[in-house]
Amino acid sequence: MGHRGKEARMAKAYTGVDIGTGHLKLAVCDGKAVSQIAIEEVPDNLVKDGRITSLETMSELLRDAVRKHRITAKNCALVLHARDVYTRRISLPAMTVDELKLNLPFEFRDYIADGKDKYRFDYAILGTSSDEAGNLQDMDVLAVATPVETIDAYGDMLRRAGLKLRIAAPDIMAYANIISQYVRRHAAGGDGMPAVSADQDFCFLDIGSANTKVYLFPEGKYEVTRSIEFGALSLASAVADHFGVDFNLAKAYLANDYEGAQTIQPCLDLYERIGIELARIVSFFNFNYPNSQLNTVHYCGSGSGIAPLLHALDEHLAIDLVDIGAMMPYSPAVADQVRICPAAVGIALQ
């Protein structure tokens, strides 16, 4: 979705790129397996409030990462985050592809102030319904609008880093790809695993640097993303205040649990607040979907390696809390790396 061409469909391997507040994540995928993962820290304030503050500096960071990790797959699939893209799930009467493309700008009339020629529109068909005679009646559509200026700027940034932008799509499509691949791999069960249905409920918990996001996919179709204001950087800030150290040093304290940094009271309080909010989100989802069979929250993100946080979240949930690695395609990378960059992997799974 978002931006693709004929070459994108023909390419065998993509480098998925996910640019976050704290980390730059790269994943090389051939469509079925992950051959390489690279993670680099993003300098302070290079990504602020979801925006890249210097595309030139980010391009240099990307270029250095590509060279350092010897990444040779130049076709790039880029994750777009909330500030770069509008998304809407809409129900439309049955229509042709040409009619759908013509209608998409109208669906964003309340969100877009500029002319439609300044945006690129795309869509994914989530499902359809038919009448008793089998005639197609309605379509369940995920619609996307992205400023042309944004896509062009990211294309230039990646080009300077030695990459070619072939696909740009919102983060929710990365998780949708993970679900799709997972269902295909396990549809028949086997190897001690039960069969996985395409209409199963899925929930992803991304404990990021700036905040924590909960992605909900009832019956395997995207519904909504909920945000919790605290992330790994909130915990690092608490550590810095507690020990009276520099923020960057506090991040190292937190990551390595130096002097019990992960279990200081300010961090325990934040774990509790995140856990309460997560439980509320899951409970509200079950209320809205009384027939829901959601039984697992799959966790990931830069803060997902903090064991006391995971313990606190598990205490608040009535369902299982499981590493997202259980859903990911094969990768030679260690589990910690896979868990940090699922969106980079998912966006490259085509």
**For the domain that residue 96 is a member of, what is the CATH number?**
3.30.1490.300
Asked if the structure places residue 219 within a domain, the reply is: yes
Same domain, 291 and 217: yes
Instruction: Identify the domain boundary among 130, 146, 162.
Output: 146
Asked if the structure places residue 120 within a domain, the reply is: yes
The structural domain count of the chain equals 2
Asked if the structure places residue 24 within a domain, the reply is: no
Structure-token pair, residue 217: 């996919």
Return the CATH number at 226: 3.30.420.40
pTM for the predicted model, two decimal places: 0.92
For the chain (350 residues), the mean pLDDT of every run of 10, in chain order, is 46 90 95 91 93 97 97 96 93 94 93 89 91 89 95 98 96 95 81 77 96 96 94 97 97 97 98 97 93 93 96 97 94 88 93
Domain region containing 283: 198-317
Asked if the structure places residue 6 within a domain, the reply is: no
pLDDT value at residue 331: 87
Same domain, 233 and 123: no
Asked if the structure places residue 101 within a domain, the reply is: yes
Same domain, 209 and 142: no
Asked if the structure places residue 51 within a domain, the reply is: no
Same domain, 142 and 214: no
- Measured at the CA of 38, the angle between CA 251 and CA 174, to 5 degrees, comes to 95
pLDDT value at residue 179: 95
pLDDT value at residue 102: 93
